[in-house]
Amino acid sequence: MTDPLHLACPHCAAINRIPAARLGQAPRCGQCHQPLFTGKPVALTGESFDRHVSRNDIPLLVDFWAPWCGPCRMMAPQFEQAAARLEPGVRLAKVDTEAQPALGSRFAIRSIPTLALFSGGREIARQPGAMGLQDILRWVDAHRPR
């Protein structure tokens, strides 16, 4: 039997313990009772970012973006489609670097959009520039831990 996975709720950020075998069975948060997987990226703030990076036992793909960025807006629907395709194996999140400048600075984000893949509480891969759906899926597949 495998150990349960820890997952931060995308709604209330409560940490949930879910058996790995139940990930595909639409698990719900034990605190707020909302679905743990929505098929959409989670908007992270300075307060919720560390909880999602350090307490999720599945990889976290973060899109660092800004509302004024044309390529970011062009990539947004592709990133949302990727969330629907990659969950529950990977959680997708967005960080608005204009609203959360400390996070952009902390991770030395020099161009947007920038995708960063986190696993085990640390960044394991980074890709600047807008990407289409298939490119996002291939890039995540090539870099996520097995």
pLDDT in tens, 71-102: 999 999 999 999 999 999 999 999 999 999 99
Per-residue pLDDT of the chain (146 residues; tens, 9 = 90+): 468 999 999 999 999 999 988 888 999 999 999 999 999 999 999 889 999 999 999 999 999 999 999 999 999 999 999 999 999 999 999 999 999 999 999 999 999 999 999 999 999 999 999 999 999 999 999 999 87
* Separate counts of helices (H) and strands (E) for the chain: 4, 7
Select from 39, 5, 9 the least CA-distant residue to 22: 5
Angle at 40 between CA 35 and CA 45, to 5 degrees: 90
Q: Whole-structure pTM over 0.85, yes or no?
A: yes
**Rounded CA gap, 105 and 109, in Å?**
6
Q: What is the pLDDT at residue 58?
A: 94
Q: What was the pLDDT predicted at 1?
A: 44
- State whether CATH 3.40.30.10 applies to domain 38-143: yes
Residues acting as catalytic residues: 69, 72
pLDDT at 21: 87
Residue type, 117: L
Closest CA to 42 of 12, 16, 72: 12
